[in-house]
Amino acid sequence: MSITWKGVFPALTTKFTADDQLDLALFNKNLKYQLESGVDGIILGGTLGEASVLTTEEKEVLVKNAVEKVEGKVPVVINIAEGATKEALKQAELAQKWGAKGLMMLPPMRYKSDHRETVTYFKTVAQNTDLPIMIYNNPVDYKIEVTLTMFEELIECKNIQAVKESTRDVTNVTRMINKFGDRIQILCGVDTLAMEEMVLGANGWVAGLVCAFPAETVAIYRLVKAGRIQEAAAIYRWFMPLLELDIHPKLVQYIKLAETEAGIGSEAVRAPRLTLVGEEREAVLSIIKSGIRNRPVLPDYLNL
């Protein structure tokens, strides 16, 4: 199997009903809007997807539903974030059975694995699946950095093809390209650094605020890749106060509030997360409403 790891890949939120069930109708409404806005793939069960509180049965429903709805237009990728290698292998097998076209993989959860353990974990899964894999490199939140030296060993596995670059170090894009050329495709995983990393050569953007603002997100990507930097920068500057909602511990609640205000989501989250209240909610809502009120007119980015 193969995936073209470039473009905008939304890390979609998981929609819930008031009684804490999957809200597929609302999920599909958002998904339709994403596809119409020109996204290049979708990712399920990431941090924004509240993966840690989803059951395997719910992941199956989400993947099968998404595969049906995208109708082959874009690849469906599911995140694997497990503590045990055995469980990661099981999730990879199930993902392929359900129809996913690729995996995004975090290092082992809850245990700070060393170099040898981290590489062995990734390679064990890669060697036991046909699915292409994007490594999620986020040492800030998950405490394990996938170093260039680790990638030197990981590229022995042909299906390890991409990295979600979330180190917060923009120069890592240049280091990766200098070291590996186009062997590892680079997708920025931090909304507030996305344009900078794409200008430096990143192939795409695993985005968060795209969940509420897909058109603006895709427009920035396509304008950058078309060399229309000033136009992209103008949209990016407008977007920045919203993009900063992606780098907060409550990014799920913040982005779900943005989706709600955009008319393509709800604030419902699964415990232990709680919906926003009081001054915090009002402060975030003010940022979102200001963004919507001043939303830029976009060029014909879909035809770039």
**126, 89 Cβ separation under 8 angstroms:** no
Domain presence at residue 188: yes
What's the CA gap between 11 and 211, in Å, rounded?
Answer: 7
Q: Is 14 helix (H, G, I), strand (E, B) or coil?
A: coil
Mean residue pLDDT across the chain: 97
239 inside domain: yes
H-run or E-run covering 304:
none
Distance CA 98, CA 59 (A): 9
Question: Per the domain annotation, does 1 fall within a domain?
Answer: no
For 137, phi and psi rounded to 5 degrees?
-100, 95
For residue 16, being part of any structural domain is answered with yes
What is the spatial distance between Cα 283 and Cα 105, in angstroms, rounded to a whole number? 34
**Span 242-255, pLDDT tens digits:** 999 999 999 999 99
pLDDT in tens, 281-296: 999 999 999 999 999 9
- Tens-digit pLDDT profile for residues 142-157: 999 999 999 999 999 9
Residue 2 maps to a domain = no
Please, which pLDDT band fits residue 1 given cuts at 50, 70 and 90?
low
- Could you tell me if residue 252 is inside a domain? yes
- Give a yes or no: residue 133 inside a domain: yes
Answer whether 92's CB lies under 8 Å from 131's CB. yes
For the segment 206-232, what is each residue's pLDDT rounded down to a tens digit? 999 999 999 999 999 999 999 999 999
The pLDDT tens digits of the residues spanning 111-143 come to: 999 999 999 999 999 999 999 999 999 999 999
Residue 168 pLDDT more than 80?
yes
- State how many domains the chain has: 1
Indicate which CATH number applies to the domain containing 193. Answer: 3.20.20.70
Q: How far apart are CA 11 and CA 102, in angstroms?
A: 13
Q: Percentage of the chain with pLDDT > 90? A: 99
Position 263 pLDDT exceeds 80: yes
Q: Are strands 76-80 and 102-105 parallel, antiparallel or unpaired?
A: parallel
Q: In what order do the strands lie in the sheet with 160-165?
A: 7-10, 204-207, 185-188, 160-165, 133-137, 102-105, 76-80, 42-44
Residues forming beta bridges with residue 204, ordered by sequence position: 7, 187
Question: Domain range holding 71?
Answer: 7-303
CA atoms of 183 and 58, how far apart (whole Å): 34
Residue 281 lies in a domain: yes
Which residues, listed in sequence order, are joined to residue 103 by a DSSP beta bridge? 78, 133
Predicted pLDDT at 2: 82
pLDDT tens for 34-55 read 999 999 999 999 999 999 999 9
Percentages (nearest 5) of helix, strand, coil residues in the chain: 50, 10, 40
Q: In percent, how much of the chain has pLDDT > 70?
A: 100
**To 10 degrees, the CA torsion angle through 70, 52, 204, 211?**
60
